[in-house]
Amino acid sequence: MTTQPTISDAESIDRNGGDGWLETRPGERCKIRVSAADTQGAYSVVEIVSSPGDSTPMHVHENEDEHFVVVEGTARIACGDKTIDAPAGSVISLPRKVPHAWGNPSDVPLRVVVTTTPGGVEEVLRLRAQGGDIDMRAVAQSYGVSVVGPLLLQG
């Protein structure tokens, strides 16, 4: 008789130290739940909590597709020439090489879980959280991400 592995047999994959939450910009915290290193580069999973009014600029990923699950709140997501408001429970896939952005248009926190395929771009979040005198545009471009427009939610 063979036994199936159980969750208690699994190695812990929270290697961020402390509680694992990274402040990547004012209004955004993230936790890398599964890094590309854990999957031989196949994918990564990041949980993000976004404050009201927070958003990303329009940008393009050359290397990866992004798959969002809206866990709490409502996400405004622009992809190409379309923009939608996605409530909790929504699943949205954003293909590589298509300009997109996302943000929190509401007055309550937004929580999303984002899977990227392949993984690796989550390392930009670790670098961004370190702060300091880092040229984030250059770092992002080294990972194949280019900013191509303004913040989705202009303050």
Q: Kindly indicate whether the domain formed by 19-140 is annotated with CATH number 2.60.120.10.
A: yes
Flag whether pLDDT at 3 surpasses 80: no
Please tell me the predicted confidence (pLDDT) of residue 155: 57
Q: Are 101 and 55 in contact (CB under 8 A)?
A: yes
Averaged pLDDT for residues 97-114: 98
**Starting at the edge strand that comes first in sequence, how are the strands of the sheet with 28-34 ordered?**
21-25, 28-34, 44-50, 110-117, 65-72, 91-94
Please tell me the predicted confidence (pLDDT) of residue 18: 61
Q: What is the pTM assigned to this prediction? A: 0.86
Domain coordinates in residue numbering, the chain? 19-140
Q: What is the mean pLDDT of the chain?
A: 90
User: pLDDT tens for residues 106-143?
Assistant: 999 999 999 999 999 999 999 999 988 889 889 999 99
Length of the chain: 155
